[in-house]
Amino acid sequence: MVTSIFTLQFMPKKDRSQVIQSIYDSLNVGGGFIFSEKTVSENASVQEMITFNYYDFKRKSFDADDILTKEKTLRNMMKPNTVREIEDMIYSAGFDTLQQFWRNHNFVGFIAIK
CATH number of 15's domain: 3.40.50.150
The two beta strands, 2-5 and 32-38, are: parallel
Entry pTM? 0.85
**Mind giving me the DSSP string for 82-102?**
PHHHHHHHHHHHT-SEEEEEE
pLDDT at position 77: 86
Distance, CA of 89 to CA of 85 (rounded, Å): 6
Give the residue from 36, 3, 5 showing the smallest Cα distance to 103: 36
Note down the domain range covering 51.
Answer: 2-113
pLDDT at position 58: 77
Which residues are bridge partners to 3 per DSSP?
A: 34
pLDDT at position 79: 93
Number of H helices, E strands in the chain: 4, 4
Q: How many domains does the chain contain in total?
A: 1
Tens digit of pLDDT at every position of the chain (114 positions):
999 999 999 999 999 999 999 999 999 999 999 999 999 999 999 988 988 888 788 788 888 888 778 778 778 889 999 999 999 999 999 999 999 999 998 999 999 999
